[in-house]
Structure 1
Amino acid sequence: MSFDRIAPVYDFLSHVVYGKSMVDSQIYFLKRIPAMSRVLIMGGGTGWIVKELFAINRTCSVVYVEASQKMIEQSKQKIQPGDFSRIEFLQQTEIPGHERYDVVITNFFLDLFPEDKLTAVVKQLKNVMKDDGFWIATDFVNERKLWQRFLLATMYIFFHVVSKIEATSLPLWKEHLHAEGLQVKEQQKFYGNFIESVLYTR
């Protein structure tokens, strides 16, 4: 799986299809992140989310995990020189388990995994959360409306061909988090309820 080929146009394509909805959904809960938080971002994409977070929270620090080297290169271009001491870039797919985090962020990340692999991913991410930490999960949800089914089918075909993602359909990611005992504290829906951002606690 690699998003290198699509990295230069990823943000443009998402904006064409979803307008501001993908951006609005991902920044919705950023103001809830406490000062001095250690934040893990899995699948950070082109890095604009880090720029937004640092503008809102001047004392947090980030571990940014992204498999695509080109995505990381774009992300570094968005970071102010004085903020590089606050972020650690990791080009990998594995969840870093060497520390525990105040906040975990997965934006359009859980949808990359088939059901059988998502169970382990969610368990690992829960294990790196602090006991009083929280998890911001933003992703697509399938209410089985015809237009949603069409968009999901189109996206999965496209990303399977271009980026070789493993999943071929949207996993029931909320059910996986619930099965791990995570509790919904707040949630907000976007783009006709097709995108949902959820704030979870342990």
Structure 2
Amino acid sequence: MTQTKTRTANYDPIARPYQWLEYLTLGRTLERTRLHYLPTLTRQQHALVLGDGDGRFLARLLAQNPTLQADAVDTSAAMLQLLRQRCEAASPTASARLHTHQANALAFTPPTPQKYDLVVTHFFLDCLTQPELDTLVARITPTLTPGALWLLSDFRIPTGPMRLPAKLFVRSLYLGFRIITGLRTTHLPDHTTPFTKADLTRTAHHHLLAGILSTELWQTPSS
């Protein structure tokens, strides 16, 4: 949930220790979730990356795609600084291909006339309220090319015996981030409904940690 940005949350204080806090809490499970579909993202040319935190995913993406241009948006200056450092260390041409924007994703306006064939939101949507998520999808989808991909990773509440443990775990995460960052969101929003209304189609999904974590690929119509 580090990638999440709202009007009040402040992620600067946890920017540097976050990687190790993540590893102490869930090991490398979040990292495996983020990277699961990375090998399939080899042809994209223009990416919009919202709330990638310290940039571990984007660094790998830029290194894999030597011609990819990326706009990275985050409200945290400290996170963006770490993101740029990590990306430049991973790819010698990253400084020319990466554009960072310290802004709220809900108000970010892509550089005109930029169109994206990839959007990435790893553990970002889960800290938006439902109205905020609806607004974000409505703002972003007009900037996407035909056949563009939207890659997301999030927490989820599975059915079956893991439902109650998952609800308690997610609730504890929200409480912890409220105390540390001031995050006000308290419940997982529904991304499926606004994505479907925006004419996106889920083309792939993968669950980890007994279904508590999910990574998904959605796609815009081809024409």
TM-score, normalized by the shorter chain, greater than 0.5? yes
- Structure 2 equivalent of residue 197 of structure 1: 215
- Note the alpha carbon deviations across 1:137-177, whole angstroms, 9 max, x for none: 11111126121111111111111222222311111222332
Q: Which letter does structure 2 place at the counterpart of 1:97?
A: P
Q: Using the alignment, how far apart are the partners of 2:206 and 2:42 within structure 1? A: 20
Q: Which residue of 2 aligns with 1:97?
A: 110
Q: Which amino acid aligns with 1:47?
A: G
CA contact (8 A) 1:95 1:125 kept: no
Q: What does residue 106 of structure 1 align with?
A: 121
Question: Per-residue deviation at 1:178?
Answer: 2.2
C-alpha spacing 1:39/1:160, structure 2 compared with 1 (3 Å): same
Amino acid in the other structure paired with 2:81: E
Instruction: For residue 149 of structure 2, give the secondary structure of its aligned residue in structure 1.
Output: strand
Rounded to whole Å, the distance in 1 between the matches of 2:26 and 2:196 is: 27
Instruction: Give SS of 2:179's match.
Output: helix
Per the normalisation by structure 2, the TM-score is: 0.85
Determine the C-alpha separation between the residues in 2 that align with 1:96 and 1:109: 18
**By how many angstroms is 1:71 displaced?**
0.5
Q: Which consecutive residues of structure 1, in runs of 5 or more, have no partner in the other structure?
A: none
**Counterparts of 1:162 and 1:201 in 2: how far apart (Å)?**
35
Q: Which residue of 1 aligns with 2:98?
A: 87
- Say if 2:122 is the partner of 1:122: no
Aligned residue type for 2:110: G
Question: 1:156 aligned to 174, 186, 197, which one?
Answer: 174
Aligned to 1:54: 62
Q: How does 1:135-150 map onto structure 2 within 5 Å? A: 135-143=150-158, 145-150=163-168
Deviations 1:31-71 (A, max 9, x none): 22243510110001001112111222222111111110110
Q: Distance in 1 between matches of 2:14 and 2:132?
A: 24
Residue 132 (structure 1) aligned with residue 147 (structure 2):
yes
Corresponding position of 1:20: 28
Residue pair 2:44, 2:118 contacting (<8 A) in 1 also: no
Deviates more, 1:22-31 or 1:92-101: 92-101
More deviation, 113-122/175-184: 175-184
Structure 1 residue 110: Cα displacement = 0.5
Asked if 1:183 is matched to 2:194, the reply is: no
**Corresponding residue number in structure 1 for 2:6:** none
State yes or no: 1:173 paired with 2:184: no
1:43 aligns with 2:56: no
- Between 1:184-193 and 1:89-98, the stretch displaced more is 89-98
Question: Sequence identity of aligned pairs in percent?
Answer: 21
In structure 2, give the amino acid aligned to 1:143: P
Q: For residues 130 and 2 of structure 1, what CA distance do their matches in structure 2 show?
A: 32
More displaced stretch, 29-38 vs 39-48: 29-38
